[in-house]
Amino acid sequence: MKEIHDIIKAYSEAVKAGKNAALATIVYVEGSSYRRPGARMLVTDDGQLTGAISGGCLEGDARRKALLAISQQKNKLVTYDTTDDEDNKIGVQLGCNGIVHILFEPINYLDGNNAIKILEKVIEKRENAALVTLFSLSKEAVDQPGTCFVIGENQQRISSLENESLEAEVRTDCSKAFSYKVSYVKEYHLHNSKLNAFIEFIPPVVSLVIFGGGNDAIPLAQMAALLGWNTTVIDGRAGYATSNRFPKANNVLMAKPDDALKQLCIDDRTVFVLMTHNYNYDLAALKLLLEIDVKYVGSLGPKKKLLKMFDDLHNDGIVLTENHKNKIFGPAGLDIGAETSEEIALSIISEIKAVLEGNKGGYLKDKDGLIHNRMELSDNASTSIFSSNKSNVKVEKAYESVRGKLAQDKANNILKHVEDSRNEWQ
C-alpha cells in the first residue's frame, strides 16, 4: 500500500512539472521472482523511478520499455525469462529462476479512468478493495487493456470496461477476492480470444495505535511510518503526547484511554501496543480493548505484568475467554534477542506483520514449499492460471512426506522419479 501512495504522490508532482509517465505493473509470475504480482513502479519521461519491480536488476531495462510506451502511447506487456542461464540477451541477471510478466501503461492525465485515477480510488476510503488489471499472454495479442477496474466492499467502483458481460464476470470474481482475501489470476474467453486478469485484493493500510509516548515508542512509530502504516500515539501526559516527539505519526492524542478510543476508526487492520509504563493506564486500556474485535494487542513488559493484569480484570468480574487471550501478546514482540528500544520496536513490528498475515514468524529456511503462499481459485466457468502449478505442488508434497523416513539412497531414487514426473507434467 505504501508503494501505491508513493506512486500517486510522484505522479501528482510529475503532472505539475509537465512530465509524462508510465506505470509498470507485475501482473503474472511463473516460478520465483524478487517481487510478486502487484508490485508497481512509476517511470517519468526524464527517467525518474518511484516504486520497484525487482531488487534492482530489471529497473534499467524497464525504464527503457516504459519510455518506449510513453513515446508510442500504447500499453505493452514485456516478459523477462530468468530461467535461462544465458539471460544476457535482455541485459539482466536475476538469479530467481522465474518468468516475470510486466505490463507498461502510459498515463494520459486527461483520461478520468487512467491507471493512476483507479489507484487513487483504492486509497480513497479505509476499506478492502479489488483491483483488476487485464492483459494477454498470447504472442498474437494486439491490445493490452491494462488497469481497468476497481471496486470497494461498499460496491462503489470505477470501470473503463466497455464489455458489459465481461464487467459482470469481473465483478463476480472480485467478490471471490473479497471472500477469500486473496489475489489471483483468472482467464476469460472473449469471442475468439483470451484475456487474463490479475485480480488483486488490497486491504487498508495497517493502523497502529500506540498507548504510550515514551522514548521507546519513538522508534516504533518511526518504523511503522517507514512501512507506510497509519500511526496514532496516545498518552495522558502533555509533555509526551506531542507532534514534535512523533513527527512521523498521523495522529498524536493527549487523552485517557476511553476518550482516545472514541476518536479512532477501528477495523480488522487496527492493532494496539500498550507501552505507557503506567500500569493503571495500560490496564484501563486493556479492559476497553477486550470489548473490541481486533487481531493484535501487544503488551510491553514481562509476562508477570500481563498475568497480574489478568488477575485484576478477573477480580473486577471480567471473564477472559480464549478469544481474548489469543489476541493479547505479552511480552510483545518476536524472540529475536532484542535489547535496545530500536530492536524491541523491530521485534514488535515483525510480530504484528506475522499475526496479520497468519504466519508464525519463524525462519524461512525451515519453511517447506514456497516462500509466498498461493491460493488457487477456479470453478466450472473459469480456470486460474495457477492451476498449471498444481501437479508440481502435489509432487513436492509427495516427496516431502517420505523424505527422512527412508534411507538416503532410496530418497535419491524417489527424487529422480519426482523430477522425471515433473518433466512429463511440464
Read out DSSP for 114-162?
A: SHHHHHHHHHHSSS-EEEEEEE---TT-----EEEEEEETT--EEE---
Extract the C-alpha cell encoding 92.
Answer: 539482466
Extract the C-alpha cell encoding 137.
Answer: 499472454
pLDDT of residue 242: 97
Extract the C-alpha cell encoding 114.
Answer: 487512467
pLDDT of residue 85: 57
The domain limits of the chain are 2-202, 207-357
Residue, of 420 and 202, whose pLDDT is higher: 202
User: Residue with C-alpha cell 483507479?
Assistant: 118
Strand partners, 150: 131, 158
* Closest C-alpha to 38, from 372, 290, 335, 393: 372
User: What is the number of other CB atoms lying within 10 angstroms of the CB of residue 315?
Assistant: 8
What confidence tier does 368 reach under pLDDT thresholds 50, 70, 90? Answer: confident
Inter-residue contact 142 to 135 (CB < 8 Å): no
Inter-residue contact 190 to 141 (CB < 8 Å): no
Inter-residue contact 64 to 45 (CB < 8 Å): no
pLDDT of residue 374: 53
pLDDT of residue 168: 92
Inter-residue contact 344 to 334 (CB < 8 Å): no
| Among 104-108, 284-288, 320-324, 384-388, the least confident range | 384-388
Contacts of 280 by beta carbon, 8 Å cutoff, 6+ apart: none
Mean pLDDT of the region 187-199: 88
CATH entry 3.40.640.10 includes domain 207-357: no
Residue, of 385 and 270, whose pLDDT is higher: 270
| Among 106-120, 216-230, 270-284, the least confident range | 106-120
Torsion angle, alpha carbons of 52, 56, 57, 61, to 10: 60
Q: Tell me: the pLDDT tens digits for 39-77?
A: 999 999 999 999 999 888 888 999 999 999 999 999 999
Extract the C-alpha cell encoding 277.
Answer: 509504563
pLDDT of residue 387: 41
Q: Tell me: the pLDDT tens digits for 298-343?
A: 999 999 999 999 999 999 999 999 999 999 999 999 999 999 999 9
pLDDT of residue 298: 98
Give the rounded distance of the alpha carbon of 293 from its chain centre: 22
User: What is the number of other CB atoms lying within 10 angstroms of the CB of residue 23?
Assistant: 28
Report pTM.
Answer: 0.82
CB-count exposure of residue 54 (10 Å: 0-12, 13-18, 19+) = buried
- φ, ψ for residue 245 (rounded to 5)? -80, -30
For residue 175, the one-letter residue type is S
Q: Is 226's pLDDT higher than 90?
A: yes
What confidence tier does 134 reach under pLDDT thresholds 50, 70, 90? Answer: very high
Mean pLDDT of the chain: 85
Give the integer Cα–Cα distance in Å for 215 and 234: 13
User: Residue with C-alpha cell 492493532?
Assistant: 271
Q: How many helices (H) and strands (E) does the chain have?
A: 12, 16
Q: What percent of the chain has pLDDT over 70?
A: 84
User: What is the number of other CB atoms lying within 10 angstroms of the CB of residue 415?
Assistant: 13
What confidence tier does 395 reach under pLDDT thresholds 50, 70, 90? Answer: very low
Extract the C-alpha cell encoding 235.
Answer: 498518552
3-state class of 177 per DSSP? Answer: helix
Mean pLDDT of the region 25-35: 88
